[in-house]
Structure 1
Amino acid sequence: MSFATSMARGWSDFISAIQFLTRIPVPSQPYEADSLSRAVKFFPFVGVLVGGSAALLNLLLLAHLPRLVTAFFVLIFLVLITGCLHEDGLADTADGFGGGWSREQILLILRDSRIGSYGAAAIIFSLVGRLLLLSSLPLMQIAHYLIVAHVLCRWTTLPLSYFLPSARTQEISEANGQGARIAQLTSTGTLVGGTLFSFAVAILFLRGHAVAPIVSAITLALLTGLYYKKRIGGVTGDCFGATNQLTEIGVYVCGVWTL
């Protein structure tokens, strides 16, 4: 593959990552079966864009509004820019694992687009929790934690998709969900490169305080991954979203805990 072709493919993968994870308008990309698995390497970088945009909005509003109100608008922005992608995953996962007893029941509930009591509770806890945590972060480090949280939460997709198979089938198709398009299809280079990038961003912005968020992200990826493997034998797209959301919350908790 020539350098020009490699650069063009890299750009296409980057655009695909933005297109999948956000509602930011980008040029549409032609569908390829492996486009999403290639785009995974850019997930943490998309976290920089999302977290950085939220940090800028926080900076603009904080001079004019109380911290709780600023956090409220920042949270609205985060929900809108991601199209509730991860909230949807968290809700479906809560419904599936909360209401299903067997693997088959869990997978059936995960495919159901309707929201149940577990899912509704999970979304409420997530939104209220993030609102309180964002408004309680150290004033001079809010921007730093926003960026780091959104990088590390998207990083969790890399180890989960590297180690775990699809809970449904190895066939890559839209009918089997987005999880089947990346489960156990992430390359070693992507995992290593994405990990180095994500942890470097955390250290750059948080310095000595980066250890707790990094450990939190690793722990949540490990524990949720083991749980998914035990209950359904792998992961689905909703599982990636749930771990993503939990990790974002975990990083904010680390920030508040240092007070």
Structure 2
Amino acid sequence: MAEENTLTLTQRIKYQWELFALALSFFSRIPIPASTPYSEERMNRAGRYFSLVGLLLGALCGVSYVLLELVFPATVSIFLTMAFSLMLTGAFHEDGLTDMADGVGGGMTLERRLTIMKDSRIGTYGASALVMVLLGKWLFLNELSSVTSILCILVVSYGLSRAVAASLIYDMPYVSDLDTSKSKPLASKQTLGELVFLMVIGVFPALWFGLEIALALLVLAFIFRFFFKKWLLARLGGFTGDCLGAGQQLMELLIYLFFIAMFN
């Protein structure tokens, strides 16, 4: 924060853009300028833009679906959009989900769970979780495609789910090895302002569906966050980067289910 407080207005605007670029490069395969400055402090501060990155990724996937639907049926368009999403993000969050499922499912002690989560190989728990999540997305989006705009749904779900996942950094301890973890720059706590910014940006697109829907989604997000946080503390004593990925995937599915219930 010290670096940010000493900048002029023009420098602050450039600094915020550079933070967004770092967040974008961390969560996607979208290239950013090679000259973008990097430091662990900047990467940590870039966390405020994770929900905004989600909105961008959701918009790109939503537009791809709209274009694909001009040529293919909805079922095929959703499948191809999901494939595009995986390529766009490098299956970053899905990887976290599989690692967490393997670790929590296969480890009997905290040390064993963390060790399994660091193993790049996928086990039965991880494979099962990955198949169920991908199948769930395809089924839920197919249900929604007949009643509402998939583009809007993707923007809302991608943004809010990442906001909820990233918000766990605010008040949970980091339990992985800071010297070897790829998520080391994210291990520091967020400021309250960054947390509020995350959630406001994450829930804002839901206003497309009306204020009541947006507020209901915000309540749902806090309920999920409360129980997911409680579960992580009981099983791991805190969070790892894999847990954030898993939280994003589960919250995304929950948002789809919420909209299915609303439009049913």
Q: State TM-score, norm by structure 1.
A: 0.92
> Alignment partner of 2:122: what SS?
coil
- Do 1:158 and 1:190's aligned partners in 2 also have CA atoms closer than 8 Å? no
Corresponding residue for 1:124? 131
Corresponding residue for 2:105? 98
Corresponding residue for 1:42? 49
Read off the aligned partner of 1:155 and give its amino acid letter: A
**Inter-CA distance 3–13: structure 2 relative to 1 (3 Å threshold):** same
Q: Which runs of 4+ in 1 moved over 4 A?
A: none
Corresponding residue for 1:156? 164
Corresponding residue for 2:16? 10
5+ long unaligned stretches in structure 1: none
Task: Let me know the Cα RMSD of the aligned residues.
Answer: 1.6
Give the CA deviation at 1:141: 2.5
Are positions 1:109 and 2:116 aligned together?
A: yes
Q: Which whole-Å deviations, capped at 9, do the CAs of 1:188-234 have from their partners, x for residues lacking one?
A: 11001222222222223554333443333222222211111122111
- Do 2:29 and 2:87's aligned partners in 1 also have CA atoms closer than 8 Å? yes
Q: Which whole-Å deviations, capped at 9, do the CAs of 1:152-179 have from their partners, x for residues lacking one?
A: 111013320001011135x5x4x1330x
> Alignment partner of 2:187: what SS?
coil
* Identical-residue share of aligned pairs (%): 33
TM alignment of 1:10-29, pairs within 5 A: 10-28=16-34, 29=36
Give the CA deviation at 1:108: 0.6
Read off the aligned partner of 1:115 and give its amino acid letter: I
Mean Cα deviation higher: 213-222 or 79-88: 213-222
What is the aligned counterpart of 1:85 among 63, 67, 92?
A: 92
Q: State TM-score, norm by structure 2.
A: 0.91
> Alignment partner of 2:258: what SS?
helix
CA distance in 2 between counterparts of 1:212 and 1:34 reads 35
Read off the aligned partner of 2:92 and give its amino acid letter: L
Are positions 1:230 and 2:237 aligned together?
A: no
Q: Which whole-Å deviations, capped at 9, do the CAs of 1:37-69 have from their partners, x for residues lacking one?
A: 111111111111111111111111223322111
TM alignment of 1:129-140, pairs within 5 A: 129-137=136-144, 138-140=146-148
Corresponding residue for 1:203? 207
Read off the aligned partner of 1:191 and give its amino acid letter: L
